[in-house]
Amino acid sequence: MSPPEKTLREVGIRPGWAVLDFGCGFGRHALAAARLVGESGRVYAVDRDRTRLARLRKLAARQGLSNLQTILSDCSTGLERESIDAVLFYDVLHALAQPARVLTELARVLKPGGLLSVSDHHLNQARIMSLLATGDQFRLVKRGRRTYTFARKESSA
């Protein structure tokens, strides 16, 4: 099992889920998620770099993954409100100029009971918690070996 698959198993990604990989980069986690959710699921890979998204589309096609869609953006996903089961937010938080704007978008698209999986090797636990768990949008559900898992607070949508 690859490191991205181990991370996603820790999150609890399941077949049939809709997953958003925000700041997907070259798409290692997006591709692993597409395999895990299967044909009945959907993965949306968001990044602000057009070249990376083009490369990801080619890799997905080569691997026969038709359930992955790319979105060019640095914030707005264009996805329906409460349409996503899990958001992958890996090594992105530290680079955001306006994290509150992005976190509001992520809270908007998460379903009630949906999960926000966060990991950022550039930030320590205190900084991650101060950005995510001190506001009115997310609450910490669990701390795993690789990730912090948050749930959307019901009043935040």
Distance, in Å, from the CA atom of 50 to the CA atom of 69, rounded to the nearest integer, reads: 13
Residue-wise pLDDT tens digits, 126-140? 999 988 887 789 999
For 45-100, the pLDDT digits (tens) are: 999 999 999 999 999 999 999 999 999 999 999 999 999 999 999 999 999 988 99
Please count the structural domains in the chain.
1
Q: Does any domain span residue 64? A: yes
Residue 138 resides in a domain = no
> DSSP letters of 68-82?
EEEEE-SS---PPTT
- Arithmetic mean of pLDDT, 98-105: 93
Domain, as residue range, for 14: 3-115
Coil, strand or helix at 152 = strand
Q: What is the dihedral of CA 100, 149, 70, 25, to 10 degrees?
A: 80
3-state secondary structure of 131: helix
Q: What is the pLDDT of residue 157?
A: 47
Average pLDDT over residues 11-39: 97
pLDDT score recorded for residue 156? 46
pLDDT of residue 80: 98
Burial environment of residue 125 by CB neighbours within 10 A (0 to 12, 13 to 18, 19 or more): exposed
Most confident of 5-14, 79-88, 117-126: 79-88
Q: Is residue 145 part of a domain?
A: no
Q: Is residue 146 part of a domain?
A: no
CATH code at 51? Answer: 3.40.50.150
* Residue 128 belongs to some domain of the structure: no
| Tens digit of each residue's pLDDT (9 = 90 or more) over 26-41 | 999 999 999 999 999 9
Q: What is the pLDDT of residue 1?
A: 65
CA distance 122 to 92: 9
Confidence bin at 120 (pLDDT 50/70/90): very high
Q: Which two tokens stand for residue 29?
A: 């986690």
